[in-house]
Structure 1
Amino acid sequence: MSESFQSHSSTFRPRARLLQLLGDQLIGSARLAVFELVKNAYDADASKVSVEIGGLGTDEPTISVTDDGEGMSLSTLTDIWLVPGHENREVQRQRLIRSPKFHRLPLGEKGVGRFAVHKLGNSIELVTRHAGCRECVVRIDWNQIISKPFLSEAPVQIEERSPQVFTGQRTGTQITISDLRQKHWSRGDIRRLQRQITTIVSPFDEPGSFSAVLEVPGRELWIAGIPDVGTILSRATWKFSFELIDGEYNWFYQFLRIPLLRLEGRELVGTGEKLLLPPSTKRDKVTATADFQEGIGPVSGDFYVYDRDRDYLRLLTESKLVTDYLDENGGVRVYRDGIRVYNYGEPTDDWLGLDMRRVNTPTRSISRNIIIGAINLQLDSSQALVEKTNREGFVEDQALLHLKDIVLGALMTLEVERQKDKEAIRSLTGKASDIETEKIRQPLNELRRAIRREGLEGKLFKYVDKIELDYEDMQRTLLHAGMAGINLGVVFHEVERGVKTLHRAIQMGENRQTVQEQSEGLMGLLDGFATILRRDDGAVQSAKKVIDRARRNNSLRFNHHRVRFEAPILEGGLGDFDAQMSFGLVVGAVGNLIDNALYWVRVRWPDVPAKSQMTPRKIYAGITNELEEGPAIIIADNGPGLKDAPDRVVSPFYTRRPGGMGLGLYYVNMVMQLSGGSLRFLEPGKSTCLKDMTELSLH
């Protein structure tokens, strides 16, 4: 016996309250809803939009948004505006169809921006007029609409009339919302809305084809006295601008003259450079090559940076005006085709993590409360950056991560140069440089977790425990000896670097013998510090042994980064010499030079195929007897070379390497001095020499 089946067809029947719910859920706040209506005016090819908040202090406040755009015809109203999710704007963007008057690509693409009106109030009146058409009026009462069970039972009436608002040849759209959801608007709310509306266009650009104003009848004083952004920008201490186009990085840096300190300003220009990216474990690239910008397109930016040190602010007039403005408006905003992408740069949004960077390196990094910045993108070439439906930034994907890296890389250029001027300001105001230190317990705990995952507890935990004990003992010794500060920072730097190298070896599956040797090497480094502190000159060791240990410590990294390491002395070459030294410290010094070389050869040679046998990246370690002072260890690479003078690169906390502590070469220089040797730069930008000058040198 066969069963009989019946099939039925049906359709979705959206409830009448759906549009109101979408407005509530898609638009985060009333201010953002107003901002969205202003953006809609931009898409309508308007040159000016006026926002008026009327009836404040009464029971019936209203919001009115009026633009002088192209307006809408009756067919546009019925076929597009009243069709949520219509793909009209999306098609225009994909086909690069620009507006007739100002040649704009539309910012909207999802057809849901009009829900902003439903976020603001229950009663909406829309008046619009297109060229050559009569004026159309749409009135929506949401209290009536949501009383109906389904949208199909809630028709919207459209009236055509002779122009009353847009008379003569005028076109545009006016939306008036009453029966507001937010009936009380405080002075703070209005001032924040004013800031939001006036920042829809970049404050750094010349007046363009679009502007927005806020009017508050009867409450004009509420928005009076808001500082003009031009006044604030004129009080910046540093200015920086950059552009990155197809992997080519150009920048301009300006430190403004400070007459009260008798400190002259300076300017620097960089052209055709490579942009260094912040460190990341998720990519091997260290520079922003052309393919790194794919889907993002050209990126440019302007940064205005301020000095908020108290000793400096005392010298300035109107310093409170500047600091108050920065507290509320500081940060880096994003603009696409000159129009702001909300909510980047808002007080609650630290999209670049600037404040956390400042906590980690307080004397170098720039926090949000000392910068006013704008990042500029082009809509037609940044299609990979997709705005979220809720209008709160871009979708968190690879394209956004790349944009963040580009901006942080540019900020690093600014921070490096700014550091030099900050030192000059501090010296004139009598304020010493801050001391930076890094804790080691967190990296050690991460190392323990990695060891546990690999099942190596029995072999390696004893080394990690010994490293931690030796480190803590070293910390107490330095503090007790009055050597806190920079020397303590060097210990932090070296132990952290050693722990990370060991952690990397475990994660990448290096053999246990090598891991054990690296653990022993890290303990030897700490023993070396202790030797120096005890004024013990150490034992006699061979230069060849130093190079061999440094090579083994970094062999995994040479392979991973496709670097050709050449050390003829380890392959039977002649020229070895012995010297009295603290072995662990000298190995650490050579390791620092190799670490720097590994980074900078990748900067100069960013694209090397994974299986390439002919890598251009090269590092050399060897011995020379050609110097007048005696034999020396040579570490050389074919990277881009040094951009700074030797006395600058060996100073503490100075680095051009993103994410670096700025202690590597300072440490190398200190170790050689304590060991009776010296650090020399034989050919600026090409080779580095660790020169031994003890009585045991071979001549």
Structure 2
Amino acid sequence: MAKLRPRARLIRTIGDKLISGPEAAIIELVKNSYDAEASYAKIKIFPPRNGKPGEIHITDDGHGMTRDVILGHWLEPANDTKTKRAHSLSGKRKVLGAKGVGRFAAASLGRFLTLESVADTKGEKEKNRIDLDWQIFEEVKYLDEIDLDITTSTCDESTDNGVLIVIKEFLTDWTEERVKSLIQELKKLASPIHADDKFNIVLDLSEFLECNEPPYNFDGISVLEEFNQLSENSFDGEDNEDVSIIKPFSIRKEADYLLEGKFDNHGAFSGYFTILRGDRKKSEIEIPAFKLSSEELHCGKVDVELRIFDLESQSVEKLFERMGVNFAKIGLRKAREIISKNAGIGIYRNGFRIRPYGDPDQDWLKLEKRRVQKPSVRIGHGQVSGFINVGSEEESKLIERSSREGLENNGAFLRLNNLLEKLLLTIEPKRFDFRAKAGIGRKPKPSIDKARSIASLEEISSAIQSLTPEQQKPILLKIEKESKALTKSLDEIEEYQKLLESRAALGLVVGQVIHDGRSYLVPLESHSKSIIEHAPFLLDDSKKGDLVREYYPTYGAGIKTAVDGLKSLFKSLDPISGRKRGRPMNFYAKEVFDDVLNLLSDELISNNVNVDLCLDEKVMLYGYKQDLQSSLLNILHNAIYWISSVENEGGFIFIDSFYEGDSVAFLIKNNGPEIDKDDVETIFDAGFTLKSNGHGLGLSIAKEACINSKGDLILLERLPLTTFKITFPRSKEVV
């Protein structure tokens, strides 16, 4: 009978050919340290110097390997120990390696390998050493012809367990670019969120000095400081006690949008979409599972957390301001570079990244291809940073390739791609709607005032000052005539613009009335229908009659709730209705403020907001009482909403007043989030909103209501608290 006899060079094929590069090889050895329950894995690279070959030392403090383990497991390529045992020896960690080939990654790093291991065995400490020259696997024909020596000895009980791997004679030059690549790979190896226990990756580059021979003549510590700090910790003002401890790439605390949640075993998603640059309210996302195609397999439970960014210059500046970063110091180019280096969606398993998912240039979901058709709606690869966490290979059917370069392109991986695409299709319209209402990416609004300044032709008038008075006179007359003509045209354009804006606002109002009105009509229709249908059974002495009598009061209550909603809706629109409301009257301001605060009392209590009203009872106003009431309702409701959107010890609203000529000025201050300076000019525009589900009419209606009574509403800038100022005509009556 014929038998298979593995060639000796198979070992080099496994290590040198399947492991894609020296960075991947080191990662495999670090994973082995993790599986051995080490608290750290330390990598130190010694460049060649004075004729001495380069070395790589990898040390850990794990449980180590006994002689039996080295013979029965470490020296058995592709053994199934980890496949059968899903957890480490103590059961604390899920093992990362399962194919039994990672240890031979060392073959791609250097010609010689020395392994020293200290472990507990039979009540004593055992030290084992094995030396390998990988070249022997090229020189000898068959594996069973190679004999390897293991030296075993006992050592002092105080000796710490662990493994030291020494690799000599580099097969790859560790240039500055290669070292930077290693730092980036190690930073992305451990998930910043799913690492359940302490495991540090330490990289010592202290032997890289500028006095070394090329290509090793660079300052390793400086490179490590630069590339190990390009993370969220760079901006927290925290000192890094040990720069050699690798800092995982953090999913930033701040972004513009956050998508988080879980897919269940069947592919149904449950989670939230939060507009972080808006009101930070969580919007619930529920997506039912869709049927498997003939090519798909279920991919198990999947955790998702994605941070999404807007990349316009103003958006980037606001993002870094929310992070507490001095944007002027780093600039737009550096800020975008930081976002770019954090871009990518990583796939993690057991807290460790599956390479290469999550690399900035790894667009495995083909987001840029999707974005070509609808660039204003679709989210691009460079706009998203995050992770998805998948289950074990058995649970998810997501199988890691033997080359350690990604997952097999099977039915489960196809299902994962389709699930995530479906999820993005659900939240992309929400982001698009918010951007439209917040005016993000919109062209600057044309300024009539700027045009008026140009129309004065002051620069031309100044330019002719060098001419004689006789020469100036006809030119100045011509300039004056043209300036008046331009100004008149601008007046007409401004009037027409105001007309268009009012019609646009009216369209938004009508749309909102239809939307809200329908929500009230549905219960009206349902309950009134139930009353009519069940009326014949109202007096029946039967179970049906008992049931009808039990539910009849709920029909009435439902109708009353809907009617109250319609009344409230119509009342809020009254100030901009344009209908005749009789003559303006004198009224006491405090009565209106008290009525409004009474209407909002439940909302104030539920959101833990206190109101301090400092208002003289004798302050009397002249105008339409409902105008002031409508304006106050919108302003205070808005204030309560935004106060509740942030964490603070207690929200408060402070209301003060003073006389200002023939008017009374009311200052309404709150300790909610500060209004961005870029939004000040548009905050009263109809349709502008930063709320997740806002319609952008509240402040527009509030301002219009004040104007209807010859008053005004403005936002006071550069104050420590958000402050709105209402001016309202004061009564001429003497109180």
- TM-score range with shorter-chain normalisation? 0.5 to 0.7
Structure 2 residue 75 is the aligned partner of structure 1 residue 74: no
Tell me by how many angstroms 1:423 deviates: 2.2
Q: Which 5+ residue runs of structure 1 have no aligned equivalent?
A: 1-8, 258-263, 286-291, 433-650, 652-699
Note closer, same or farther for the CA distance 1:354–1:163 as it changes in structure 2 (3 Å cut).
farther
Q: What's the counterpart of residue 146 of structure 1?
A: 138
Note closer, same or farther for the CA distance 1:114–1:255 as it changes in structure 2 (3 Å cut).
same
Q: What's the counterpart of residue 214 of structure 1?
A: 203
Q: What's the counterpart of residue 298 of structure 1?
A: 301
Distance (Å, rounded) in 1 between the aligned partners of 2:440 and 2:280: 17
Q: What is the RMSD computed on CA atoms of the aligned residues? A: 2.9
Tell me by how many angstroms 1:368 deviates: 2.0
Q: Tell me the alpha carbon deviations over residues 326-364 of structure 1, each in whole angstroms, 9 at most, x when there is no partner.
A: 333411111111111122122443211112112222112
Distance (Å, rounded) in 1 between the aligned partners of 2:352 and 2:386: 14
1:156 to 144, 148, 152: 148
Structure 2 residue 264 is the aligned partner of structure 1 residue 251: no
Tell me by how many angstroms 1:17 deviates: 2.1
2:316 to 309, 313, 333: 313
Amino acid at match of 1:326: I
Distance (Å, rounded) in 2 between the aligned partners of 1:162 and 1:379: 38
Q: Structure 2 matches for 1:47-86, cutoff 5 A? A: 47-55=39-47, 60-86=53-79
Distance (Å, rounded) in 2 between the aligned partners of 1:361 and 1:307: 15
Q: Tell me the alpha carbon deviations over residues 364-391 of structure 1, each in whole angstroms, 9 at most, x when there is no partner.
A: 2222222111101222762511111111
Amino acid at match of 1:127: E
* Structure 1 contact 134–161 (Cα < 8 Å) conserved: yes
Tell me by how many angstroms 1:122 deviates: 0.7
Note closer, same or farther for the CA distance 1:127–1:414 as it changes in structure 2 (3 Å cut).
farther
Note closer, same or farther for the CA distance 1:207–1:191 as it changes in structure 2 (3 Å cut).
farther
Q: What's the counterpart of residue 12 of structure 1?
A: 4
Q: Tell me the alpha carbon deviations over residues 377-427 of structure 1, each in whole angstroms, 9 at most, x when there is no partner.
A: 222762511111111111111111111122222333332322223224544
Q: What's the counterpart of residue 281 of structure 2?
A: 267
* Structure 1 contact 246–293 (Cα < 8 Å) conserved: no
Structure 2 residue 352 is the aligned partner of structure 1 residue 339: yes
Q: What's the counterpart of residue 228 of structure 1?
A: 231
Distance (Å, rounded) in 1 between the aligned partners of 2:65 and 2:317: 56
Amino acid at match of 1:254: T
Distance (Å, rounded) in 1 between the aligned partners of 2:309 and 2:155: 51
Q: What's the counterpart of residue 46 of structure 1?
A: 38
* Equivalent position SS for 1:372: strand
* Equivalent position SS for 2:403: coil
Tell me by how many angstroms 1:57 deviates: 7.0
Q: Structure 2 matches for 1:90-105, cutoff 5 A? A: 90-93=83-86, 98-105=87-94
Distance (Å, rounded) in 2 between the aligned partners of 1:243 and 1:253: 12
Distance (Å, rounded) in 2 between the aligned partners of 1:199 and 1:268: 28
Amino acid at match of 2:158: G
Note closer, same or farther for the CA distance 1:293–1:240 as it changes in structure 2 (3 Å cut).
farther
Q: Structure 2 matches for 1:324-473, cutoff 5 A? A: 324-379=337-392, 382-427=395-440, 430=443
1:176 to 166, 172, 183: 166
Q: Structure 2 matches for 1:602-681, cutoff 5 A? A: none
Distance (Å, rounded) in 2 between the aligned partners of 1:57 and 1:414: 56
1:283 to 267, 287, 293: 293
Amino acid at match of 1:256: L
Distance (Å, rounded) in 2 between the aligned partners of 1:350 and 1:275: 26
Distance (Å, rounded) in 2 between the aligned partners of 1:330 and 1:123: 38
* Equivalent position SS for 1:304: strand
Count how many residue pairs are aligned between Structure 1 and Structure 2. 401
Distance (Å, rounded) in 2 between the aligned partners of 1:389 and 1:135: 31
Q: Structure 2 matches for 1:444-593, cutoff 5 A? A: none
Distance (Å, rounded) in 2 between the aligned partners of 1:163 and 1:323: 55
* Equivalent position SS for 1:46: coil
* Equivalent position SS for 1:191: helix
Tell me by how many angstroms 1:224 deviates: 0.8
Distance (Å, rounded) in 1 between the aligned partners of 2:162 and 2:426: 45
* Equivalent position SS for 1:101: coil
Tell me by how many angstroms 1:127 deviates: 1.2
Note closer, same or farther for the CA distance 1:354–1:152 as it changes in structure 2 (3 Å cut).
same
Q: What's the counterpart of residue 261 of structure 2?
A: 242
Amino acid at match of 2:153: R
Distance (Å, rounded) in 1 between the aligned partners of 2:317 and 2:407: 40
Q: Which 5+ residue runs of structure 2 have no aligned equivalent?
A: 208-219, 236-249, 321-326, 446-686, 688-735
* Structure 1 contact 275–406 (Cα < 8 Å) conserved: no
Tell me by how many angstroms 1:61 deviates: 2.3
Distance (Å, rounded) in 2 between the aligned partners of 1:325 and 1:162: 51
Structure with greater Cα Rg: 2
Tell me by how many angstroms 1:293 deviates: 7.3
Amino acid at match of 2:402: T
Distance (Å, rounded) in 2 between the aligned partners of 1:206 and 1:339: 8
Q: Tell me the alpha carbon deviations over residues 485-510 of structure 1, each in whole angstroms, 9 at most, x when there is no partner.
A: xxxxxxxxxxxxxxxxxxxxxxxxxx
Q: What's the counterpart of residue 504 of structure 2?
A: none
* Structure 1 contact 24–119 (Cα < 8 Å) conserved: yes
Note closer, same or farther for the CA distance 1:420–1:174 as it changes in structure 2 (3 Å cut).
farther
Tell me by how many angstroms 1:10 deviates: 4.1
Q: Tell me the alpha carbon deviations over residues 432-472 of structure 1, each in whole angstroms, 9 at most, x when there is no partner.
A: 9xxxxxxxxxxxxxxxxxxxxxxxxxxxxxxxxxxxxxxxx
Q: What's the counterpart of residue 100 of structure 2?
A: 111
Distance (Å, rounded) in 2 between the aligned partners of 1:426 and 1:56: 58
* Equivalent position SS for 1:363: coil
Q: Which moved more, 1:77-86 or 1:235-244?
A: 235-244
Distance (Å, rounded) in 2 between the aligned partners of 1:424 and 1:34: 49
* Equivalent position SS for 2:186: helix
* Structure 1 contact 242–410 (Cα < 8 Å) conserved: no
* Structure 2 contact 11–137 (Cα < 8 Å) conserved: no
* Structure 2 contact 301–396 (Cα < 8 Å) conserved: no
* Structure 2 contact 118–126 (Cα < 8 Å) conserved: yes
Q: What's the counterpart of residue 186 of structure 1?
A: 175
Note closer, same or farther for the CA distance 1:110–1:313 as it changes in structure 2 (3 Å cut).
closer
Tell me by how many angstroms 1:200 deviates: 1.6
* Equivalent position SS for 1:225: helix
Note closer, same or farther for the CA distance 1:430–1:64 as it changes in structure 2 (3 Å cut).
same
Amino acid at match of 2:225: A
Distance (Å, rounded) in 1 between the aligned partners of 2:180 and 2:14: 27
Note closer, same or farther for the CA distance 1:428–1:352 as it changes in structure 2 (3 Å cut).
closer
Note closer, same or farther for the CA distance 1:354–1:428 as it changes in structure 2 (3 Å cut).
closer
Matched residues, percent identical?
Answer: 25
